Amino acid sequence: MKKFIIKPLLLACVLATAGCSDFLDRPKYGQPSGWQTREDVDKAIAALFRFTTYEEVSGRGHMWFECCSDNMVVGRSSAPAQDIREFRMAANNDRDARWIWKYMYENVAKANNIIKVTPLMHLDNDYTGTTVGIGYFFRGLSMLWLAPWYGDNGPNGGIPIILDTTEPADMDSPRPASVLMNYDQIISDMQEAGNRLPLFSQLPSDLYGYPHKAAAWAFGARAALYAAQYDARYYDTVIDFCDRIMALSGADRRDLFDDGTDSAFANLWTKANNFCSEYIFSMLGNAKEGPKYHGMAFTQNGYNLINTWGYFQPTVELMNAFDPTDKRLPATILKPGDHIRFVGRDVEFGGVTYDPVSSQNRTWNISSTTCLTWSKFLSPWAAVDCLGKDVNTDGNYMSNTLGTCLVRFADVLLMKAEALIWKNGEGDAEAKLLLNRIRKRARLPENSAATKAELKRERRLELAGEFLPSRFVDLVRWGDAQAACAQPALKLTYTPGTLGVAPVITGTEPFENGRTFNPAVNHVFPIPAAAFEGSVNLKQNQGYN
């Protein structure tokens, strides 16, 4: 694969590019002006990555919807966010999730322009093939970012399908009868992308972060897994895509990262392992620009060392779901008395430690609503010299060097195991082997029974807090959302520590009553009000206004 001129993280140079209009901007759609050279196409490719820098997409966005799950709560006061969590959301809700529809359909338009125009430019065949593959990949990914939250196979149907072949007059068309039509399109796009894209090993290192075959196959598997809630025949597609990834060999062989230590899972979440054997696809950033979610997930204010925002916090229910010996627990959740390194300091969460930098004792108070916070994504903030090196010096911008993972090999194992169990029944022999690989890295006994309950638990624990594999979507598609939401949410009670004396967890208490999830309405969210501007045929999901 020949190098592109523009890299994903140099998007500031290409903020104005042809074909960036939204999907209802009919005069410009499919007619990018000024595309004359390969460099013009490179800029159009780079524009596909712009959404990774938008705080509304890669910082918060659909993570507000994840607060509806039993893994995460709204970590600080926000009435619109709490309305989402408690299923009172309206189409005019002003949290960032309202922007996702606009930005993803803009990306669909950009991808369609690439798919449609590049083959007409008489460029190098290999370059053209790969470029069109990138277009298919991002069109599929953009729709996968929307379909599970807004479409169903029931009264609402799917969401608008806009292709490179769609005529301008047909763009404002009625919603498809079923979201399965969206999943079919995503699967087709990822299939086409996989046919055209290089293997990861064929990417030069300065193009790491670009799509490749395994990434296309993994997102194809995820789309099929979501489709299987409506039609079990899609489990075969899940297995097929996962098998392709698992069959890769040599430099492209994917595997769970395991350095042989009890900290293997924690060590996965470091910059050094952004592109390890477990890597499949992430949004990348640096200390100046890029995804901002990780800093949103740590306790508010960052102890005045650097601002972190504390919007999304783990639940006590998630913590209690872990086996106490599971090495993923301390690598995922920080609870009172646990220690981390933060901007070079030894932080005892909820306690007091001596800070040699200031030559003073520091109190590490807990501001989280559940008295827990995420430890999974904190590695960029660990070193004393992290500011400007691994994280942005301005606490109003959470960009950092830890890739924001969208899919990794552990998810592939879990998707295939789920498909096997749901297709062949509990106790499936291959599913046991797959789940035991997950358990081995967590340093748990390799005694999987491959039951549905175990699969649900392992998927919950392994992927907790990550950006795109959604616990809430899992609860909905398994039919578990109503019961999970009805359970009261808890917060820890604890005795704060003093110098030399650790905090002590004393118990739990309810901080929120159970929520009412209506499976006829709340399995999807309201389409944002702005999406209806200029549209005649788009219909709102039932039960929302």
As a whole number of angstroms, the distance between CA 501 and CA 259 comes to 33
Confidence class for position 396, pLDDT limits 50, 70, 90: confident
pLDDT at 136 > cutoff 60: yes
pLDDT of residue 32: 62
Sole residue written with tokens 């009553």:
513
In the predicted model, what is the mean pLDDT of residues 461-488?
97
Whole-model pTM: value is 0.94
Contacts of 219 (CB under 8 A, 6+ apart): 137, 140, 141, 144, 186, 190, 281, 407
Is residue 308 within 8 Å of 295, Cβ to Cβ?
Answer: yes
CB burial of residue 261 (10 Å; 0-12, 13-18, 19+) = exposed
Nearest to 146 by CA among 167, 117, 172, 175: 175
pLDDT at 214 > cutoff 50: yes
DSSP class of 208? B
Is residue 186 within 8 Å of 147, Cβ to Cβ?
Answer: yes
**Positive or negative CA dihedral for 8, 9, 14, 17?**
positive
Q: What is the pLDDT of residues 316-330, one digit of tens each?
A: 999 999 999 999 999
In the predicted model, what is the mean pLDDT of residues 194-221?
98
Is residue 492 within 8 Å of 508, Cβ to Cβ?
Answer: yes
Domain boundaries, the chain: 293-402+487-512
Sole residue written with tokens 């969206």:
182
Q: What is the pLDDT of residues 55-113, one digit of tens each?
A: 999 999 999 999 999 999 999 889 999 999 999 999 999 999 999 999 999 999 999 99
Question: What's the start-to-end Cα distance of the chain, in Å?
Answer: 49
pLDDT of residue 140: 98
301: left (phi over 0), alpha (psi -120 to 50) or beta: left
In the predicted model, what is the mean pLDDT of residues 175-202?
98
In the predicted model, what is the mean pLDDT of residues 115-126?
96
pLDDT of residue 33: 64
